[in-house]
């Protein structure tokens, strides 16, 4: 009965949080602040960033504000207004008129209002790309709808807006959140009055703004304390949400952060001069010229009255203090009491969280000593997103290449790769900074390209020394590319790439280089560069996927744009993601290229996943020999594949395990180990149980066991990133 109480209250609870997305918007604003603090771009931008850093209570309230009136006292239209440039223009004009410099004793009010406005802009820009406005068919919610909701976009909207809150709370502590919100209520009421001064429409009153902001604040604090307990309700609906919330290239948190930073820089540069009084596009044509139809997820009507929502939140033990400064028109919101988290869980949810029997697992947990710890000054730069080993200077010691694809120096999210010398005596470890400790830093200075998203080591020029291939898969459509740096004896890698690999520009090449592999395709005993492009499209179908091979040899031109092998998926299915994983089994004249398409779907079951095996004796057009298809929704079979001379290992990173009776582990993930020699003899459609040696499953729900794989010297390493803050 306890579980039934939880699920019965979820529709009401989710309606409260769905209209807000408060944690996600605050996270985007926080990351953008951090990014700009280290890379302001100009003294003018630095000034406004300082205002935000000095006014966290204004910033966090402003990050929520555009949603203040949805489902509150009939103010949805005015809430919608706050999402678009006319409101921002009116606010900038108001600040210039009401708070002319020097501010003297109005310094705090002026800088607080400016910080509040920049947070509003963060919310607005993020919403455009989160909701896929402006014609983006591969935006976050559109992609989530197509992959996990049978194309039902309204349903995906609800799950994304509310589920992202709980997913974020499940994976992050968010300790930076301020205890207090400060809201410049009188200024906001005046801005609305200024916008509508030539109409007869009644504008929001100070009292109504105070009330609705209090409701939003209460929902925000309740979400912080209780959201992680509601994570299973939404997480089960969408593995895409769990896996892609942070890193999805169009509308993930990192992407929204970069777009906000670009807009902030532009607004800051114009704030003291031409402040968009009437002409010119503000920040992005997708924001400033897009048709301003209401955001459907926000305009969804509530099944509960406003009073019922507030009563529900108050019954959780929260009492909000409303401190009103009538002289200046500022509202301060804070919590009077915060009950113990454990008792609150029982009081509000009335649920005992289930425990799982993990005695079935045969994994080994060891603690490794840390001789060296390296850090970066950019907390959101994605340090160590990928790590590879290679002897690039031929000194018989493996060097370490460490990527940070979101590193931003000259350009936002251009990325960087640091190469650390493998000989300890050559390390400079005065302050543990990876940049000062590395022998060379590699960059491409292309905005949003995410240089270092993936890397691979191979001998591309057949000189016996390891070379490094580094992918920059994103940026503008058709602009993904790969830099190859040749290793040199006694020298190592140079800062300038020796070869640049790309495809002729066309819109279906987006994400070229997002997966890299070193595999001997042509059978000459030397590993070739294999590029998996799961985001590449085909015949107007988004993200069907493809695999490309560029053969290694003694001589290459400085640019390569014609692959030696092109392998599209035998299917034409949207979001199949063919090429997500690639490996090889066999040798001599019996070699099979194994390709994972973890997004393959059946009519009745989404993303069961499929693995393809291609005979390489028919190059440059490998012949399909067999397929292996998953059998349950969201299994995502083929999300990871590795092999050696004996075994083929296939991951299904979001498979649900039902072997524990009532304690079903949704999306715990699984890994299957196969006899490679038997698979070489299979043809047609084969069962996932064929040639199976063993299977292991994840340790807890949503763990995504098998998210990453490595097979080395008969040791299989399996990543489980969403279990216990990440396990290996």
Write down the pLDDT at residue 360: 39
Give one DSSP letter per residue of 403-464, joined into a string.
Answer: EETT--SSSTT-BEEEEE-SSGGG---SS-BHHHHSSEEE----TT--BTSSEEEE-TTSSS
**String of b and e for 552-561 (b: at least 16 CB within 10 Å)?**
beeebeeebe
Protein fold of 372-568: Methylamine Dehydrogenase; Chain H (2.130.10)
What pLDDT shows up at residue 17?
46
Cβ-Cβ contacts under 8 Å for 343 (sequence gap 6 or more): none
How far is 448 from 255, CA to CA, in rounded Å? 8
Give start and end residues of each alpha helix (H) in 202-336: 206-226, 231-235, 239-244, 253-271, 285-288, 306-314
> What is the per-residue pLDDT for 308?
53
pLDDT of residue 357: 38
Residue recorded with tokens 């690639």: 582
What pLDDT sits at residue 554? 95
Q: Report the predicted TM-score, pTM, of the whole model to 2 decimal places.
A: 0.88
* Other C-beta atoms lying within 10 Å of the C-beta of residue 236: 17
Reference 654, options 638, 675, 676; nearest CA is: 638
Domain boundaries, the chain: 2-277+303-349, 372-568, 580-728
549-575 pLDDT, tens per residue?
999 999 999 999 999 999 999 999 999
Q: What is the DSSP string of 650-718?
A: EEETTPPB-TTTTS-BTT--EEEEEEHHHHTT--EEE-TTTTEEEEEE-SSTT--TTSSEEEETTEEEE
Distances from the Cα of 324 to the Cαs of 184, 186, 210, in angstroms? 10, 11, 9
| Cα(647)–Cα(335) distance, integer angstroms | 57
Token output for 132: 């896929």
Residues of the chain with pLDDT under 50: 1-20, 293-306, 338, 341-362
- What pLDDT was estimated at residue 605? 96
Report the SS3 class of residue 81: helix
The whole-number pLDDT of residue 366 equals: 58
Residue 297 confidence (pLDDT) = 42
CA distances from 429 to 425, 426, 434 (A): 10, 9, 8
Q: What's the distance, CA 234 to chain centroid?
A: 17
CA–CA separation, 341 vs 227, rounded Å? 12
The pLDDT, as a whole number, for residue 228 is 65
Please state, in angstroms and as integers, the Cα–Cα distance from residue 587 to each residue in 371, 519, 615, 636, 684, following that order: 39, 12, 11, 28, 21
Contact 526, 461 (CB under 8 A): no
pLDDT on residue 539: 80
Q: What secondary structure does DSSP assign to 206-218, as a single string? A: HHHHHHHHHHHHH
């Amino acid at each position: 009965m306890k579980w039934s109480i939880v699920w019965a209250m979820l529709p009401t609870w989710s309606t409260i949080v769905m209209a807000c997305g408060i944690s996600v918007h605050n996270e985007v604003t926080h990351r953008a602040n951090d990014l700009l603090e280290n890379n302001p771009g100009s003294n003018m931008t630095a000034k406004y960033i300082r205002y935000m850093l000095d006014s966290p209570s204004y910033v966090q309230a402003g990050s929520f504000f555009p949603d203040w009136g949805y489902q509150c006292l009939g103010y949805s239209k005015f809430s919608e207004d706050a999402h678009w440039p006319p409101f921002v223009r009116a606010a900038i004009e108001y600040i210039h008129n009401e708070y002319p410099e020097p501010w003297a004793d109005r310094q705090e009010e002026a800088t607080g209002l400016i910080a509040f406005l920049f947070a509003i802009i963060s919310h607005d820009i993020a919403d455009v790309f989160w909701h896929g406005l402006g014609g983006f068919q591969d935006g976050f919610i559109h992609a989530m709808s197509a992959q996990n909701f049978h194309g039902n976009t309204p349903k995906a909207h609800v799950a994304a807006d509310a589920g992202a809150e709980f997913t974020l709370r499940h994976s992050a502590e968010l300790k930076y959140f301020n205890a207090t919100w400060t809201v410049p209520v009188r200024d906001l009421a005046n801005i609305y009055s200024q916008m509508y001064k030539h109409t007869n429409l009644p504008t929001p009153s100070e009292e109504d703004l105070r009330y609705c902001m209090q409701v939003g604040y209460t929902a925000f604090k309740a979400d912080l304390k209780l959201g992680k307990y509601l994570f299973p309700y939404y997480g089960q609906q969408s593995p895409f949400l769990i896996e892609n919330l942070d890193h999805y290239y169009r509308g993930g948190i990192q992407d929204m952060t970069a777009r906000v930073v670009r807009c902030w820089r532009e607004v800051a540069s114009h704030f003291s001069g031409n402040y968009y009084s009437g002409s010119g596009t503000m920040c992005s044509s997708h924001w400033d010229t897009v048709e301003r139809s209401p955001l459907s997820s926000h305009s969804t009507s509530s099944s509960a009255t406003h009073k019922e929502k507030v009563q529900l939140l108050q019954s959780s033990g929260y009492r909000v203090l409303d401190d009103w400064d009538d002289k200046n028109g500022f509202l301060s919101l804070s919590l009077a009491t915060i009950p113990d988290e454990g008792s609150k869980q029982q009081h509000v949810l009335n649920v005992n969280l289930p425990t799982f029997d993990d005695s079935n697992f045969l994994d080994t947990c060891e603690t490794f000593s840390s001789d060296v710890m390296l850090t970066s000054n950019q907390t959101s730069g994605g340090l160590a997103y990928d790590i590879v080993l290679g002897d690039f200077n031929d000194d018989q010691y493996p060097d370490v290449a460490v990527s940070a694809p979101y590193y931003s120096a000259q350009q936002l999210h251009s990325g960087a790769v640091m190469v650390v010398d493998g000989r300890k005596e050559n390390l400079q470890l005065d302050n543990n900074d990876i940049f000062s400790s590395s022998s060379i830093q590699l960059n491409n200075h292309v905005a949003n390209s995410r240089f270092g998203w993936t890397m691979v080591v191979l001998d591309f020029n057949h000189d016996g020394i390891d070379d490094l291939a580094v992918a920059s898969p994103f940026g503008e459509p058709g602009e993904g590319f790969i830099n190859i740096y040749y290793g040199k004896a006694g020298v190592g890698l140079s800062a300038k790439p020796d070869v640049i690999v790309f495809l002729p520009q066309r819109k279906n090449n987006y994400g070229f280089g997002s997966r890299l592999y070193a595999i001997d395709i042509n059978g000459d005993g030397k590993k070739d560069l294999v590029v998996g492009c799961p985001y590449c499209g085909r015949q107007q179908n988004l993200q069907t996927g493809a695999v490309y091979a560029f053969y290694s040899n003694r001589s290459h031109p400085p640019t390569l744009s014609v692959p030696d092998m092109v392998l599209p998926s035998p299917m034409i299915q949207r979001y199949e993601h063919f090429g997500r994983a690639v490996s090889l089994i066999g040798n001599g004249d019996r070699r099979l290229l194994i390709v994972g398409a973890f997004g393959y779907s059946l009519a009745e079951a989404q993303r069961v996943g499929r693995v393809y095996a291609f005979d390489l004796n028919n190059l440059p057009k490998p012949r399909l020999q067999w397929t292996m298809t998953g059998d349950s929704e969201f299994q995502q079979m083929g999300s990871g594949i590795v092999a050696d001379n004996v075994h083929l290992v296939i991951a299904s990173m979001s498979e649900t395990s039902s072997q524990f009776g009532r304690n079903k582990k949704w999306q715990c993930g699984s890994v299957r180990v196969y006899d490679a020699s038997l698979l070489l003899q299979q043809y047609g459609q084969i069962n996932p149980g064929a040639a199976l040696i063993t299977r292991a499953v994840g340790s807890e729900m949503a763990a995504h066991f098998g998210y990453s794989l490595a097979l080395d010297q008969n040791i299989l390493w399996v990543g489980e990133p969403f279990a216990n803050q990440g396990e290996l």
